[in-house]
Structure 1
Amino acid sequence: MNNQTYGVTPPISLTDPTSKDKELNDLLIKELKVRGSYESEAATLKRVEVLTTLQKLTEDFVYEVSLRKNMTQGMAKDAGGKIFTFGSYRLGVYGPSSDIDALVVVPRHVTREDFFTVFEKILRGRPELEEINSVKEAFVPIIKLEFAGISIDLLFAKLDIPRVPHDLTLDDKNLLKNIDEKDMRALNGTRVTDEILRLVPKPTVFKNALRFIKMWAQQRAVYANVYGFPGGVAWAMLVARICQLYPNAVSAVILEKFFQIYSQWNWPQPVLLKQIEDGPLQVRVWNPRLYAMDRQHRMPVITPAYPSMCATHNITNSTQKIIMNEFNRGVEIIGEIFTGQKVWSHLLERHSFFHQYKFYLCVVAATKSNAEEHLKYSGMVESKLRLLVQKLEQVDGVELAHPYVKSFENAYYCKSDEEMSSIVNAYGTLQGDEIASHFSTPKERKMEESEVEVNLTKLYIGLKLNLIRDGEKKLDIQYPCSDFFSICKNWPEFNPAIHFIQIKNVKLYDLSADVYIEGEQRPVKVSKRKRSLTKDEGKKRPRSIESIASKS
């Protein structure tokens, strides 16, 4: 029995699992295996080999830069360099299709510019490299690559030390001195992941419970930090806190308590894995008593590594309601799992987002250029979507603005601006599907000289409306849409000649076919029998939603 106290309060229960708990836990592991959550040993070994190669390349990179900066061969060799991992790989909850989040840590004389020139050149020279894309201007600068069949996100951090030895760890807060914000953000991923693992009583119990919660959150479409839902780190911390409160429980019981506790949590009381620490830097640490912005966080989940931050600051009024509905659904189903009426797969049933609303807004980002140019633009639009959600929440008649957690992408070849407009204007609808079927795509063939490539991304927001107001049934969303257009057009790289933004109202039965997965039945419109209107009803204006469609 584990009697040690973890976290900011004593445990709720130290009870050991019953035979029934263990039986349910075995069924849980079986369900995870059936759904392909675990990777084969051979595939895991391949990841280790790839990371070993990247470690060698990191040392070669630091060595080459050191020589260029007039160091002796001995000093250059001694300068070191080290690869750290974080995210799902470091937490041990990765699956067959998971990428690897990795961090290249270097000594003070190696710069970020060196990373994007010298190191990128080294990577490009490797036979294992299949794809590479550098994003220097990202919030956290990154090199994305496909290397030996594995997707890897490589971050960079420079420490203010002369050498980075093999045995270096990142838990010393003093390592954060004299580094810039981008380096600190890059280091934070590894520091937070390591701290989470240190703060849970039984790592295996935590990992299996987290595997299930990640799968559940993805199936229920509540997993996406950028759109206003918890991301991977936040879900990991939420699970870790339950593990602290029930240190002897098996994963099945952790899941039961997860839904019970968070469905009743007194938000915005924060979820903490340990007390918030002070440190040696003049940096902001999450503190709602000091900072008004921190007081606005609706469901704060606080990172355990200094400097502590809120991992869920993007959650809006609507997304909080959606998350709470999912917690309540979880309580109901898991209760039936524990009484034998239901099984784990019931909890993992796919969401019904594209069935549950009468009206949807479709946000379309289009680029009259190649996929690489479009990726930058569409990424910016996606990152601003939650601001549109927040503005829609303030409109009279909007009860809920529910963002979908994934984007949909397509590319077509057009021979004229008219052809391009016809696709862009109808994109995201059934009519758009029909129009697009007449155009070729980059997957089918190469572009001809007389053609232009248009890349498109569509994002959906489901609207729950209450339109009975002053005897009228009408919704005016012009202001939030116009405001959103302004935000997108103020992007420093916005070029009206190639970048386009649209918002259109799409009814449930007019949604694009590709939002439904294979085997999923799309909603069928049931025709209502017409009845004669009463005298008063005939005077009322029809229910409508003002469609906004704007190009720039």
Structure 2
Amino acid sequence: MTSSAPTSFPKRKLGVTPAGSFDGPLEADLHSTQELEQLLAELGLYKSKEETARQEEVLRKLDKIVKEWVKELAIQRGQVNTNVGLFTFGSYHLGVMLMNLGLTSILYVLDQIVPSDLDISQNSVLSGVDEVNLRSLSECRVADQILDLVPNIENFRTTLRCVKHWAKRRGVCVNWYWPNPVMLCSIHEDRELGFPVWNARFNREDRTHIMPIITPAYPCRNSTVHVSATTLEVMKEQFQIGNEVCQEIEMKQADWADLFEPLGDPPSDETAVSC
């Protein structure tokens, strides 16, 4: 899926499986993608330049506030070499954040002098961190790794916008034999750091996971650990319906708008459960 691409793609292997094809898109593919992008824009799934500038300004102000705050705390505690880093993650970091949604970010406070452009993709930043901080850092590291593992970031963002909106509308193309894990890259262990990673061959608890989708950054974890058998069946049904609609779109028997038909009445923001 791309709006502009060469006739063939560079044969760079990404992930754990080979590419299905290195052939470039046909004119019909390009036209279909343009139609999808136009629909996504009409649905308000792209930020305006003004909204982007506003969010960047918010992050700049937040960065200034936390640096001043950490500096004051460091002086009170007699520390002079403390530094702080502000990192984003989630939809904002992936470049698909919608308008009027909250920014997601973490603070990384360091007790020693480090470069201001600290590369948190290196496993060494995990040395000495506890489980709580590990989960926070992993959010940013996973987002970075995902962007590094896709061959075309803009095409990925278009696809992600499409899938996120489709999932929201349907309440949640291909067959997958669960519980085989979905992985973007091979799982690596770091014996020096020693954090547990997902491994169904050796970890009994990991073998009970219904729908393992493994995060690419160390330590690799199952991002869908709470999915139940019932939830998986609902998602598989919607995947099949979505695949059928996409096939109809390719055969000019449906439009992209048909893919986003809601499952039913949208759920209320406030849900009450009475017993």
For the criterion TM > 0.5, the same-fold answer is: yes
Query: Matches of residues 79-94 of structure 1 in structure 2 within 5 Å?
Result: 79-94=82-97
Residue 276 of structure 1 aligns to which amino acid in structure 2?
I
Query: Matches of residues 32-431 of structure 1 in structure 2 within 5 Å?
Result: 32-71=40-79, 75=80, 79-108=82-111, 162-222=112-172, 259=173, 261=174, 264-279=175-190, 280-352=192-264, 408-409=269-270
In the other structure, the counterpart of 2:34 is 26
Alpha-carbon deviations, 1:239-289, whole Å to 9, x = none?
A: xxxxxxxxxxxxxxxxxxxx2x2xx11111111110001113232210111
Q: CA deviation at 1:97?
A: 2.4
Q: CA deviation at 1:408?
A: 4.8
Q: CA deviation at 1:62?
A: 1.9
Distance 2:121 2:253 in 1: 46
What secondary structure sits across from 1:81 in the alignment? strand
Residue 57 of structure 1 aligns to which amino acid in structure 2?
I
Q: Percent identity?
A: 35
Alpha-carbon deviations, 1:133-167, whole Å to 9, x = none?
A: xxxxxxxxxxxxxxxxxxxxxxxxxxxxx134311
Q: CA deviation at 1:353?
A: 6.8
Distance 2:28 2:224 in 1: 35
Distance 2:269 2:159 in 1: 30
Alpha-carbon deviations, 1:46-100, whole Å to 9, x = none?
A: 11111111111121122111111124xxx35xx3311100000000001112221
Q: CA deviation at 1:352?
A: 2.5
Q: Is the contact made by 1:82 and 1:164 (CA closer than 8 Å) also made in structure 2?
A: no
Alpha-carbon deviations, 1:517-548, whole Å to 9, x = none?
A: xxxxxxxxxxxxxxxxxxxxxxxxxxxxxxxx
Aligned length, in residue pairs? 266
Structure that is richer in strand per residue: 1
Query: Matches of residues 366-515 of structure 1 in structure 2 within 5 Å?
Result: 408-409=269-270, 457-459=271-273, 502-503=274-275
Q: Is the contact made by 1:87 and 1:193 (CA closer than 8 Å) also made in structure 2?
A: yes
In the other structure, the counterpart of 2:5 is none
Distance 1:2 1:100 in 2: 35
Residue 103 of structure 1 aligns to which amino acid in structure 2?
I
Residue 324 of structure 1 aligns to which amino acid in structure 2?
K
Residue 60 of structure 1 aligns to which amino acid in structure 2?
E
Distance 1:80 1:107 in 2: 5
Distance 1:290 1:3 in 2: 34
Distance 2:46 2:101 in 1: 10
In the other structure, the counterpart of 1:392 is none
TM-score by length of 1: 0.47
What secondary structure sits across from 1:98 in the alignment? coil
Distance 2:268 2:42 in 1: 27
In the other structure, the counterpart of 1:539 is none
Alpha-carbon deviations, 1:113-142, whole Å to 9, x = none?
A: xxxxxxxxxxxxxxxxxxxxxxxxxxxxxx
Distance 1:175 1:95 in 2: 30
Distance 1:51 1:29 in 2: 28
Distance 2:181 2:78 in 1: 51
Residue 28 of structure 2 aligns to which amino acid in structure 1?
K
Distance 1:172 1:22 in 2: 37
In the other structure, the counterpart of 1:13 is 21
Alpha-carbon deviations, 1:422-457, whole Å to 9, x = none?
A: xxxxxxxxxxxxxxxxxxxxxxxxxxxxxxxxxxx5
Residue 106 of structure 1 aligns to which amino acid in structure 2?
V
Unmatched 5+ residue regions in structure 2?
A: 1-8
Unmatched 5+ residue regions in structure 1?
A: 109-161, 223-258, 355-405, 410-456, 460-501, 504-552
Distance 1:163 1:407 in 2: 48
Distance 1:103 1:65 in 2: 18
Given the superposition, is the C-alpha separation of residues 408 and 84 from structure 1 closer, same or farther in structure 2, using an over 3 Å criterion? closer
What secondary structure sits across from 1:286 in the alignment? coil
Alpha-carbon deviations, 1:341-390, whole Å to 9, x = none?
A: 10011110011278xxxxxxxxxxxxxxxxxxxxxxxxxxxxxxxxxxxx
Q: Is the contact made by 1:89 and 1:101 (CA closer than 8 Å) also made in structure 2?
A: yes
What secondary structure sits across from 2:214 in the alignment? coil
Q: CA deviation at 1:299?
A: 1.6
Q: Is the contact made by 1:268 and 1:297 (CA closer than 8 Å) also made in structure 2?
A: yes
What secondary structure sits across from 2:205 in the alignment? helix
Q: Which has the larger radius of gyration?
A: 1
Given the superposition, is the C-alpha separation of residues 87 and 189 from structure 1 closer, same or farther in structure 2, using an over 3 Å criterion? same
Q: Is the contact made by 1:31 and 1:344 (CA closer than 8 Å) also made in structure 2?
A: yes
Alpha-carbon deviations, 1:202-243, whole Å to 9, x = none?
A: 000000000000000011111xxxxxxxxxxxxxxxxxxxxx
